Amino acid sequence: MNKFFLSLYDFFVDKKKLLISVLIVVMAGLTLSLLNLHYKEDIADFLPNNESNKQISAVYQHIGSSDKLIINFSLSDTALHDEERIMEAIDQFASRLIDKDSLHSIPEIIAQVDETQFLDLIEFIQQNVPYFLNEEDYLRIDSLLQKEDYIASQIAEDKRLLMLPSGSIMRNSVLTDPLHLFSPLLLKLQDFQVGNSQQVKNGYLFSHQGRKGMVIITSPYGVSETAHNSELLVLVNQTIEETNKDFSDLKITCFGAPAIAVTNATQIKNDSILSIALSVILIFALLIYSFRNARNLFLIFFSILFGWLFALGVLAIFKDSISAIALGISSIFIGIAINYPLHFVDHLKHELNRKQALKEIIPPLIIGNITTVGAFLSLAFINSPAMRDLGLLGSLLLIGTIIFVLVFLPHLIRKENGTRNTEYGERNTKSSKWINWFKWFKQREFTRVFTILFCVLTMVFLYLSQFTAFEPDINVINYMTEQQHKDMQDMMQQVEKKGKGIVYFVAEGQSQEEALSTYEHHLPLLDTLKHFGLVESISGIGTFLPSQQEQLQRIANWNNF
């Protein structure tokens, strides 16, 4: 390696214009390559990407609420109760949002529920009853028909219902099911409902307590496309602010998986920018204190810039996208990469011959680079797209930086004034004060004291380490604002009972028919779990979406009955 880099140095030593031309061409090529790179803000990229997690992620992406934004409307004074006021705000919000969405990008805005659809669903079930009855229903119907005077009592009940003011509404039900044999079938529609989180009042969605009105917005981008969802949230938040001006007595908040994902991505980006800024400021403050040379400081900074450009440009050759979140986190590599130009610049303080200085630092820099790059490359074998991106970014950043340091920097750096001196402690520089201070601590009495102190602290920390545990709650990964935390707790209280959680059972197949057959095959197992109290309740498609084979069997059961 020494011969290769030294021969490059000899080649360019009298060809500075050619060296700068090569540097410009390389940076231009890397920049053009970089322009083809797309950035993803999907927080889910940090999760393992094995087959099992792919399936779980795919299922979660298709769960009805994963792409929903819920706009909550409630009175600021919780002691008051004014549903009419909330309904007015909902109407105004919905109309404003529709007007703002000039491109019609929002596929669905549910401000009111069309109750006629529910009536149509009931009528459909009543007209196709045989397809939805199971063995338990037939046993119940048979026992009812065995009761004395059951038929007469139900006909009398029909007469009473038809004489009521609402008789016209009940007419179809009476004609379809005069003996009320199939009424319990309609109660099974509750199987579609997860918890009792909502109720309908005059066509508007309210929480089960009736204190909060809701508008449900469907994101066209799903939960992971945070870049597009952030644009949608800007539109929604603008509409909320405008509506709040007319309804200052109301509290309007936005909640949902897309909003939380955007909050996560935004927070990570902001934290990354802050961490990069702080690290650059602290590092360069130290460098300015140690090196009073603006040109050399600029070249140290430029070395890192070249490393970043190299990393992203090379990545763009093999990949069309990269995690923007991983890109932000990779700011931690600045502190490592800056050591390479720093070693060379500092070495020139006591070795004024640049070729000799280069010759002396090549072995330690190359060895250190290989070990560090190898450590970061190990991340490339993790089943997590974002972690692989992070590992590749770190490795290529270090490789690009050391290439600049060993090939270009020796010709661009300004020589230090002074004479050669191998003793750091005798150098007339600001940094020598720090080195002398450290030498003072190397005296024997201080070495003994610190050795004992470090041993004691090691034992203390070893004892305390047993009380450290990994966070078992995956939800803690998500960053949420205080309001989002509150909305999440309110939603979970409505959907889940205390100490209970929701577990999804998923039946898969190559086709819908195969998936339905698999689902029906496992229904007895789910019923058994519920019977023994291992499952409190089951919500799903229940008996309302039978496979074709099951439909034929149910028609045969009906005919036999």
Report whether 16 contacts 411 (CB < 8 A).
yes
Nearest to 325 by CA among 269, 363, 366: 269
> What does the pLDDT read at residue 556?
94
Q: How confident is the model at residue 426 (pLDDT cuts 50, 70, 90)?
A: very low
252 membership: H or E segment, kind and range: strand 250-255
Report whether 226 contacts 262 (CB < 8 A).
yes
* Long-range own/partner contacts, residues 57-64 (CB < 8 A, 24 or more apart): 59/504, 59/506, 60/223, 61/222, 61/223, 61/224, 63/504
For the segment 375-391, what is each residue's pLDDT rounded down to a tens digit? 888 888 887 788 888 88
Higher confidence at residue 17 or residue 492?
Answer: 17
C-beta atoms surrounding 313 within 10 Å: 23
Report whether 334 contacts 282 (CB < 8 A).
no
210 pLDDT higher than 90: no
Q: Which range has the worst mean pLDDT, 35-39, 108-112, 408-412, 432-436? A: 432-436
> What does the pLDDT read at residue 89?
92
Measured between alpha carbons, how far is 25 from 212 in angstroms, rounded to an integer? 62
Q: Which range has the worst mean pLDDT, 6-10, 78-82, 104-108? A: 78-82
Exposed, middle or buried: residue 21 (CB in 10 Å: 0-12, 13-18, 19+)?
exposed
Report whether 81 contacts 215 (CB < 8 A).
no
Measured between alpha carbons, how far is 408 from 422 in angstroms, rounded to an integer? 25
For the segment 132-180, what is each residue's pLDDT rounded down to a tens digit? 898 888 999 999 999 888 999 999 998 988 888 877 777 878 888 899 8
61 pLDDT higher than 50: yes
Average pLDDT of the chain to the nearest whole number: 81
Measured between alpha carbons, how far is 181 from 104 in angstroms, rounded to an integer? 46
Report whether 255 contacts 484 (CB < 8 A).
yes
Torsion on CA atoms 51, 52, 58, 62, rounded to nearest 10: 160
Exposed, middle or buried: residue 52 (CB in 10 Å: 0-12, 13-18, 19+)?
exposed
> What does the pLDDT read at residue 421?
44
242 membership: H or E segment, kind and range: helix 226-246
Most confident residue range from 97-101, 184-188, 442-446? 97-101
467 pLDDT higher than 60: yes
For residue 47, the Cα-to-chain-centroid distance in whole angstroms is 9
Looking at residues 99-103, what average pLDDT do you find?
85
Q: How confident is the model at residue 62 (pLDDT cuts 50, 70, 90)?
A: low
Q: How confident is the model at residue 435 (pLDDT cuts 50, 70, 90)?
A: low
Instruction: Indicate the pTM of the whole model.
Output: 0.67
For the segment 304-351, what is each residue's pLDDT rounded down to a tens digit? 899 989 999 998 888 888 877 777 777 778 888 888 888 888 888 777
